[in-house]
Structure 1
Amino acid sequence: MSFKPLRIRKAAVLGAGVMGAQIAAHLTNADVETVLFDLPAKEGDKSGIAIKAIQNLSKLSPAPLADKSRQAAIVPANYDEHLELLRGCDLVIEAIAERTDWKLDLYKKIAPYLPDSAVIASNTSGLSINTLAEALPENLRHRFCGVHFFNPPRYMHLVELIPNKFTDADILAGLEAFLTTTVGKGVVYAKDTPNFIGNRIGVFSMLATMYHTEKFGLGFDAVDALTGPAVGRPKSATYRTADVVGLDTMAHVIKTMADTLPDDPWHAYFQAPLWLKALIDKGALGQKTGAGVFRKVGKDIVVLDLAKQDYRAADQKPSDEVSAILAIKDPSEKFAKLRASVDPQAQFLWATFRDLFHYSAFHLADIAETARDVDFAIRWGYGWQLGPFETWQAAGWQQVAGWIAEDIAAGKAMSSAPLPAWVSDGRTGVHGKDGSYSASQNKALPRSSHPVYQRQHFPDPILGEKFDQGTTVYENDGLRLWHLGDDIGIVSFKTKMNTVNDFVLDGIQRAVDEAEQRFKGLVLWQAKEPFSAGADLKGAMGLLQAGKVAEFEAMIANFQATSMRLKRSLVPTVAAIRGMAFGGGCEFQMHCTKTVAALESYIGLVEAGVGLLPAGGGLKEIALRCAKANPADPFNAVKAFFETVAMAKVSASALEAKEMGLLRATDTIVFNTHEVLWVAQREAAALADAGYRPALPAQIPVCGDVGTASLKMMLVNMLEGRFISEHDYEIGSRIADTLCGGVIERGSLVDEEWLLALERKHFVELAQMPKTQARIVHTLTTGKPLRN
C-alpha cells in the first residue's frame, strides 16, 4: 500500500485533565507545537485551568515530560478567548470527560474554527465514534476518528485507532504513520464497539478477578500476589492497578459497560462490587486520596479486609502448592495442574483465565479484526507479557478449549454462552505462519503492509513469530557480528544484561577490524534491552580477590583500547540504544561516531555507586567535550559534569541525556523503540556516503590542579554537611583529578592517552580499597548500592 504523509506541525488538545495534559506533554516531547485548551476559569487569568495543568506536569510520577524545560513550550488556552488558535492546527485531539453530550456541545463550538485540512480525533476510552462524528459538519466527518491513548501516554505503547464509517483511508494511514514514528506508539485498529479492545477485555479481566476473589474467599493482597509478575503481568497486578486508576474511574468504566452493553451474555457481572461502592462513598478513591483497597501507614502497606471491615497488614502470598505450579515452565502442564488442584488459589487462577479466554473468543468477531489486535492491545495497554489468545495457545489450544466447554456445560463458567464454533474446528491456535485469525472473515490475516512497518526489522513478535536473524560474520562467547544483507555490520552482545567482559572487548575490536574490511559502517545494537548494564563486575571482582592486580589493570587497559578502537575506526560506528546504558555501556556510545537513542533510554556513568570511577574513556571524553565547548576556560562545563558523575546520575530519558551532555547535541532520538536499528543503519550509511573520516587526535586544554582544588571544595562542604561519606569524598576527589588533567598547571595541553592513564591509575587504586570492594559485593548480592 502507499499513503500520503500527514504533516503535523501544530496540534491542539482539548481538555486539560490528567489525560489531556499528558497527551499534550508527549506531543511536546515529540517536537509537535501544542496548545492545551480548557474551560475559562471563573476568576483570574481565563486560561488558569490549562496553566495549572501544565504546571502540574512536573509534579507527576512517572514524568510525562521527557525533559522538564519543554513545559514552557505548551501553550495554555481557553474556549472563550483562543478558538482562533485552532485555525493553525493540523491535529486536534479532544480529551474531555466521558460524556457524549459534553463532547457534542464542544464539537459544535469548535467546528467553525477547524481548518479543512485538520485531523480531528477523540481520546474517548469507549464512547461511540460514529455517534460523535454525527455532531461534526459533513465536510469534517471523513477527517474524524478515535485515537485512544493509554495512561500514562508517554510510557504505554498502545494507541487504539477507531475509524467512523466515513473516515478517509488516507487520513487513517497518515495518522498511523505519525503515531508510530513521531509519537513512538503501537497502533491497533479497533471496531466502534463500547470500550473498544483494550478496556473491553482488560476491564472484563478485572471484573472476573473481582468476582472470583469473592467466590473463592481470597484476600485482595493474595490476589495481587497471584495476578502480578507471577503470571507475567505488572507489579500493580489487579487491586493496586484499581487504586492507581482511581476507584471512582473504575466504577465509572464498569457503569459504562453496563449501560452500553445490555446484550452482552456477561452483563449481570457489569456492576461495581458492594465494597467498591462503600469505599467510593467514604471518599477512599485509591492513590489520589491516599487510601483505597490499599493504604500506606508510615512505611507499611495495609490492605482492606472485608471480613474485619478494616485494614490489616498486607502480607498474604501464594500458597506453596500454587507457587510450585506457577514455577512450572511448560504452560500446558501449568494449566493442567491449576485446573486439577483443590487449592482455592489454584482454582481461582484457573477460573479467571477460563472466563477471560471464553469472553475474548466470544467477542473476537465484534471487537477486533484479528486475534493479534486483541493480544497487542492487552500487552501494550495493560503491560501483560502475553495477550489472552497467546496465553491460551501456549497452554495447548484444544486441551484448554475442551476444559472451557466442560466448565460451561457444568455451569462453572461465569456465562453459559457457547464457545464460537471456530474455537473447536481442530485448530492449534489463532497465530500461525499465515498470520492471525480473523473471526469476522474466518481466515488468517498477515501483518499490516503499511510502509511505516518497513522501518521495523524486529517488530514486537506475536507468539511463535520468527524474524530473519541476519547472516553471522563473526561470533565468540561475548557477541555476534552480523548483517541483514546490506553493507552495515551489526554487533550484538550475548552476555547477561549485555554486560562487558573480555569476550565482548576482544569481540568489538575484531568487529571493527572486520567492518573496515567489508562494511560501510558498524552499528552496536542489542536484540533485547538493556543496551548494556556496564562492566561485568563479577569477573572483575574475581581477579581482585585472587590478588591478580596486573591482570585487572590489563583488563581496564583493554576496555579503554576497545573504546578508542570504536572512536578511531575508519568506518563510522553508531550506537543504537534502548533502555539502560550504564557505565561501560555509556562510555562505548560516547566513543562511537554517533548515537541513535530511543526516547526511553536511561543513560549514566554510575561507577561512583560501586566505589569506582568511569575508566573506559568516559572521563577523558567529558574533558574533551568540555574543552571543545570552551577552550579558553572549560571549568564551568567540567563542574556540571563532575556533579553528574560523582552523584552517579542517570538520565530519565534520551532528551535529558542530551541536557546532561551524555549524548551529543547532534545525536538522534527515535521515539519508537522498534525503529532504532533501522535509523542507526541509515545514519551509519549517511556518514559513510559523506566521506567519513575519524577526527584527528586532539590536544586538550585542562583545568589542572586549580580546577581540582575548586571541585574538592564542593566535596568538603558536602562531607561536612554529611551529604556524602569519607569514601564518597575519596572517589569524588579522584574523579575531579582525572577530569582536570591531574597535578599540572591550568590551561596545560594534554592528549587522550594522558587522561586515559589517569583514569586507569585511579580506577585500579580505588578497586583495591576494602570499602570499594564491599560496595561491589553488596551490589552484586542485593542489586542495590551501599553507602559506606
Structure 2
Amino acid sequence: MSKRIIKKVAIIGSGIMGSGIACHFANIGVEVLLLDIIPRELTDAEKAKGLSINDKIVRNRLVNDALNHALKSKPSPIYHQEFSKRITTGNLEDDIAKVKDVDWIMEVVVERLDIKKSVFEKLEKYRTPGTLITSNTSGIPIHFMSEGRSDDFQKHFCGTHFFNPARYLKLFEIIPGPKTSSEVLNFLNGYGEQFLGKTSVIAKDTPAFIGNRIGIFGIQSLFHQVKALGLTVEEVDKLTGPVIGRPKSATFRTVDVVGLDTLVHVANGIYENCPNDEAHELFKLPDFINTMMENKWLGSKTGQGFYKKVDKEILALDLNTLEYKPSKKANFATLELTKTIDKVIDRFKVLVSGKDKAGAFYRKNFASMFAYVSNRIPEITDELYKIDDAMKAGFGWEHGPFQIWDAIGVQKGIELMKAENLEPASWVQDMLASGVGTFYTIKEGATYFYNIPSKTQIKVPGQDSFIILDNIRKSNQVFKNSGVVIEDLGDGILNCEFQSKMNTIGGDVLAGLNKAIDLAEKDFQGLVIGNQAANFSVGANIGMIFMMAVEQEYDELNAAIKYFQDTMMRMRYSAIPTISAPHGMTLGGGCELSMHADKVVAAAETYIGLVEFGVGVIPGGGGSKEVALRASDSFRKGDVELNTLQEYFLTIGMAKVSTSAYEAFDLGVLQKGKDVVVVNKDRQIATAKAYAKIMAETGYTQPVKRKDVKVLGKQALGMFLVGTDAMQASNFISEHDHKIANKLAYVMAGGDLSEPTLVSEQYLLDLEREAFLSLCTERKTLERIQHMLKTGKPLRN
C-alpha cells in the first residue's frame, strides 16, 4: 500500500467553519485551496466602481470576505498571520477543476443534504481517483451523502467533523460511510492526532455522532432541571464551570457564545431522528427556549441571550419572568467544601454528598448523565473511552462521564440513578458481576478501559506516542516536595513537574528544580521541565515577593532573587541537556525558565512573554539579562545595533505575550533553528524526552559561561532615556512606567559605560537584581503587585 501524504487540501465553503478549518491546515504547513460560490449580484460599492459580475474580484468576493473576516477575528484561527499566505482562494465555477491536484477535498457547505449532494456531484467530475473526500457535517447522516456516487468516491469518503473554533477545540470525529475503506479511516485517525494535533475519535453514523449527542443531552437535561430545582442562570453556571473541570463559560454562557440557534438545530435533529432514545422527550425544547428563539435572543451574535451587557453591567435572564436582572454572585455551602481540594477529580465525591441545593443538583445531574452514556453503548460507539475523549476534546471537560463515575464509585453512581428512577445499561451490572469494579485502571504507566465484549480491561489504543504524567507519577517518582514531583521518564531522562498553585515559581519549586539537576547530573542523561496542567507557569510567586517587600526584608528578598537567577544559570550551565516544555500561559518567571533551557519544545498553544512591567518590576530571574544577551548575539556587521536592542527593550516594556508559539519566535523568546513547536500537546513530554535523549547521546558538552556579551553603554542608555521621556510627555506611559522603563534601560545598556564593552552574564545579572530590588521599595510597585494578587489584572498607576 502506498504512503499517503497530504500536501494540499481543498476546502469547499468559506463560512466560519470552512475558513477556520482552512486556517488550521495552513497552521500545520499544508497548502489550501478555499472555494465558495459566486455572488448573485453586485454590491453598491462594486457598482460605483463600474465592476461587473464577471470580474474576478467580484466572483471571489464571498470567499475573500469570509477569509479576511476570519483572519481578523479574535481569538485568531491562525498561529501566525504569515501562514495565511498558504491559502489560495477561488470560486466553484472558475476554479473547481483545481481540485484534481489536491490530496484531500473537504466539503463545509450549509447543513442541507440536497446542497451537499449537488456539491459532491460537481466535485466528482474533477476529483482524481484515490483522493480523500470528506464532509464536515455536525449531524447529517453520512450514508445519505454518498448515495449515487462512484465506488472509488464512496471508498474514500467519510465524515470528518471539526468542532468550532477548529484551531482550539481538539475533537476530530471521523464517521465512516457504508463503503469507507479501513485504510482511509486508519489514515485519518493517525493524521488527525499527529498532524492536526487533535483527539481523533472514530464514531458511528448516528445522529449528532458522539460529542454533540452527549453534549446536547447534557445541556437539554439542564434546561429541564433548572426550573424544577429552582436554580438561576448564574447558579447553574457556577455549578457547571471550573469547580467540576469545565470551561469558565460553563453552560449558559457557552450557549450564548456558540449561539442558541446552533444548539436548537442539533437538538431538533436528535429529537426527530432518535425516536427510540430513552431520553427522547428531553430533546424537546422547553417553552422558555422557544420564546428566546422567537425573540431572537440567540446570544453574543444578537447582543443578548441568557446574558445581556448593558453599558458595563452584566444582566442575567430570569427564566421564570424572561426579564433581565442584574447578575448575582452564586454561593453554595457544598462548593465551599471543595475549596481545599486542588484536584478536580477528587471533588466529585464531596459534591454528590452535599446537603444543599447544589448537592441535589449534582446528584440529579450526574445520575441522568451516567444512565444516558451507559445506554449509548453500543449505539454510538462500542468503546466507553471514546465518549470520554469526545467530551474532553469537544466540550473542554477535564474529565469524561465514565471518569467522573469512577471517581464517585460505580456502585454509588448506580444508587444515584435509582434515586431518580433511572437504570444503567445492563453491561454495567455485568461488569460488576464479572469482578471488574471500575471503568478504567492504570497499569505500568498505561490506561486500560473495560471492554464490554470480552468483559475484561484492555489497553486504550494510541498511547505509545504519549507520556501521561498522571499515569506514571506514583510508580516513577524519584523525588517530591511541596512544589515539584520529579519522575523518571525512562531512557535516562528525568522530568521535573511543577505542583504549585498555577505552577507559580517560589522557593520550593526552585529547590525542586535544583534537586532535579543534581539527580540528573549524578545518575541520568537529561532533564525535561514539563507538566500537563492547564498552564506551564504564570511566573514567580509574587505573593512571597510582596510580603518580603512590605516587611522591608530586603536582604531576604535580595537572596530570593539571587536564588532564582542562580537556578536559571544552573539550568543553562548544567552538565546535562535541559529541555523546557511550555504550553498555555508561560509568563514572567515561566518564560525566563524556558529562555534558559538548552532547548524549548513548545506546544503550539503557548502564550509566552515577559510581563513583569504589569506588577511594577523588570524581569528579575535572568530575563532582562537574557534579552540583552540575545540582542548582542543578533548584532551583525553593518547593523544599527541600537535598533536591534530597542526591539528587545520594547518586547519587555510593552509586556508582549505571544498568541501562539510561532509568534514567540518574532518576540525573540523562542529561537529559530534551536527551539521547536509541537501541535499536539499530548505528544509534548514524549517529544521533549526524545530531544533530551538525542542531545545526550550525540555528545552534549557542558557550556562555558559567557563573558562576551556586547553592551552599548551610554550610547544606548541615552537613546532609551530620550524615548521614555518623550513617551511620558505624550501621556503614553505613567510616571511609574517611566521609572520602570529607565531601570530596564540601565540593565540592557549595561549601565552608563562610556563605550561599547564586552561583559559577563553575571555582570548583567547583578545590574538586573539591583534594579528589581530597588523597584520593590516603591509604593506604586507594591500597589501593582497587591492589585494583581487581588484581581488577577494589572494596575496602571
- Residue in structure 1 matched with residue 582 of structure 2 by the alignment: 577
User: Any conservation in 1 of the 2:246–2:398 contact (CA below 8 Å)?
Assistant: yes
> 3-state DSSP class of the match of 2:604?
strand
Could you say which residue in structure 1 is the equivalent of 2:764?
A: 755
Shift of 1:143: 1.9
1:225 to 238, 250, 267: 238
Corresponding position: 1:589 with 2:589: no
Q: CA distance change for structure 1 residues 388 and 481 in 2, over 3 Å: closer, same or farther? A: closer
Aligned partner (choices 346, 352, 355) of residue 368 of structure 2: 355
Cα distance change, pair 157–362 in 1 and its aligned pair in 2 (3 A):
same
Partner of 2:708: 699
- Shifted more, 329-338 versus 735-744: the winner is 329-338
Q: CA offsets per residue over residues 402-437 of structure 1, 9 Å max, x none? A: 4423533xxxx6xxxx64322334454433468333
Measured in 2, the distance between the counterparts of 1:309 and 1:468 equals 50
1:90-109 correspondence runs (5 A): 90-109=103-122
Q: Whole-Å Cα distance in 2 between the matches of residues 268 and 208 of structure 1? A: 10
The answer on whether the counterparts of 1:107 and 1:135 sit within 8 Å (CA) in structure 2 is no
Q: Which stretch has the larger CA shift, 10-19 or 115-124?
A: 115-124
How much identity, in percent, do the aligned residues show?
35
The 3-state SS of whatever aligns with 1:196 is coil
Q: Which amino acid letter does the alignment assign opposite residue 633 of structure 2?
A: K
Q: Which amino acid aligns with 1:643?
A: L
Note if contact 1:54-1:74 (Cα within 8 Å) is conserved in structure 2.
no
Deviations 1:591-633 (A, max 9, x none): 2111000111121111111111112222222122222222343
Alignment check: 8 A CA contact 1:55 1:71 kept: no
Equivalent runs, 1:608-627 vs 2, <5 Å: 608-627=613-632
In structure 1, what is the equivalent of residue 9 of structure 2?
11
TM-score after normalising by structure 2: 0.89
- Are the structure 2 counterparts of residues 135 and 61 from structure 1 closer, same or farther at C-alpha, using a change threshold of 3 Å? farther
Letter of the 1:143 partner, please give it.
H
Q: Which of these residues, 554, 557, 568, is aligned with residue 552 of structure 1?
A: 557
Kindly provide the CA deviation profile for residues 452-496 of structure 1, in whole angstroms up to 9, marking residues without a partner as x: x3220117x7xxxx3365645555554454423312233333433
- Residues 221-620 of structure 1: matches in 2 within 5 Å? 221-315=234-328, 317-318=330-331, 320=332, 323=335, 331-332=348-349, 334-337=351-354, 343=357, 347-408=360-421, 419-425=424-430, 426=432, 428-432=437-441, 435-439=448-452, 441=453, 443-444=455-456, 446-450=458-462, 453-458=463-468, 466-467=471-472, 471-473=476-478, 478-620=483-625
Cα displacement (A) at 1:557: 2.7
Deviation for aligned residue 1:162: 1.6
Alpha carbons of 1:611 and 1:334: their partners in 2 closer, same or farther (altered >3 Å)? closer
Q: Please report how far the alpha carbon of residue 445 of structure 1 lies from its aligned counterpart in structure 2 after TM superposition.
A: 5.2
Deviation (angstroms), 1:34: 1.7
Partner of 2:247: helix, strand, or coil? coil
Map Cα deviations across residues 627-646 of structure 1 (whole Å, 9 max, x no partner): 22223432222222212201
Change (3 A) 1:16 1:445: farther
2:651 — aligned with what?
A: 644
Whether the 8 Å CA contact 2:514–2:567 is kept in 1: the answer is yes
In the TM superposition, what is the alpha-carbon distance from 1:221 to its structure 2 partner?
Answer: 3.2
Supply the distance in 2 between the matched residues of 1:379 and 1:504 (Cα, whole angstroms): 29
Equivalent positions of 1:189-208 (< 5 A) are: 189-208=202-221
- Of 170, 175, 178 in structure 1, the residue corresponding to residue 188 of structure 2 is 175
Name the SS for the 2:582 alignment partner: strand
How many angstroms does 1:316 deviate by? 6.4
Distance in structure 1 (CA, Å) of the matches to 2:129 and 2:712:
59
The residue number in structure 1 matching 2:20 is: 22
What's the CA shift for 1:497?
A: 3.0
Q: Aligned letter for 1:787? A: R
Specify the SS of the correspondent of 2:743: helix
Greater shift, 424-433 or 296-305, is seen at 424-433
**3-state DSSP class of the match of 2:581?**
strand
Match of 1:669 in 2: 677
Cα separation, 2, equivalents of 1:217 and 1:549:
54
Q: Deviations over 1:301-360 (max 9, x none)?
A: 223335434322222635x4565677796644642546xx6x5x6555443333222222
Q: Which amino acid aligns with 2:641?
A: P
Q: Does 1:127 align with 2:125?
A: no
Distance change (3 Å), C-alpha of 1:382 and 1:560: same
Judged with a 3 Å threshold, the aligned counterparts in structure 2 of structure 1 residues 509 and 351 are, in CA distance, closer, same or farther, namely closer
Aligned to 2:724: 715
**8 Å CA contact retained: 2:603, 2:680:** yes
Mapped contact 1:398–1:424 kept (Cα < 8 A): no
Instruction: Return the offset for 1:514.
Output: 4.2
The verdict on how the C-alpha distance between 1:482 and 1:257 changes in structure 2, with shifts beyond 3 A counting, is closer
Cα distance between partner residues in 1 of 2:629 and 2:743: 17
Deviation at 1:220, TM superposition (A): 3.0
Distance between the aligned counterparts of 2:516 and 2:236, measured in 1? Answer: 50
Secondary structure (helix, strand or coil) at the match of 2:376 reads helix
Q: TM-score with structure 1 length normalisation? A: 0.90
Instruction: Say yes or no: does 1:150 pair with 2:160.
Output: no
| Range with greater deviation from structure 2 (513-522 or 171-180) | 513-522
**One-letter code aligned to 1:169:** S
Query: Match for 1:712: what amino acid?
Result: L
Residue 724 of structure 1: aligned partner: 733
Separation of aligned partners in 2, 1:82 and 1:497: 50
Find the partner of 2:696 among 681, 688, 694: 688
Task: Find the residue that maps to 1:45 and give its secondary structure.
Answer: helix
Change in Cα spacing, 1:222 to 1:371, as seen in structure 2 (3 Å) is same
Amino acid at match of 2:412: Q
**What SS is found at the alignment partner of 1:551?**
helix
Name the counterpart of 2:47. Answer: none
Q: For the structure 1 residues 277 and 508, does the alpha-carbon distance in structure 2 shift closer, same or farther, using more than 3 Å as the test? A: closer
Partner of 2:32: 34
Q: CA deviation at 1:449?
A: 3.6
SS at match of 1:366: coil
Distance (whole Å) between structure 1 residues aligned to residue 785 and residue 75 of structure 2: 29
> Which shifted more, 21-30 or 67-76?
67-76
Deviates more, 1:380-389 or 1:268-277: 268-277
Q: After TM superposition, give the deviation of residue 61 of structure 1 in Å.
A: 2.5
2:189·2:202 contact (CA, 8 Å) conserved in 1? Answer: no
Tell me how large the CA RMSD over aligned residues is. 2.7
Contact 1:470 1:485 in 2 (8 A): no
Q: 1:210, 1:732 → 2: CA distance?
A: 53
CA contact (8 A) 2:364 2:416 kept: no
Does the 8 Å CA contact 2:338/2:350 hold for their aligned counterparts?
A: no
Cα distance between partner residues in 2 of 1:509 and 1:225: 40
Paired residue type of 2:650: E
1:680 partner letter: A
Cα deviation digits, residues 730-764 of structure 1 (max 9, x gap): 00111112112221245433332332222122112
- Structure 2, unaligned runs of 5 or more: 43-56
Cα distance in 2 for partners of 1:309, 1:664 equals: 55
**Paired position in structure 1 for 2:49:** none
- Pick one of 779, 783, 787 that aligns with 1:774: 783
For the Cα contact (< 8 Å) 2:449–2:460, is it kept in 1? no
Change in 2 beyond 3 A, CA 1:494/1:312? closer
For the residues of structure 1 that align with 2:599 and 2:419, how far apart are their CA atoms? 59
SS state at 1:484 partner? strand
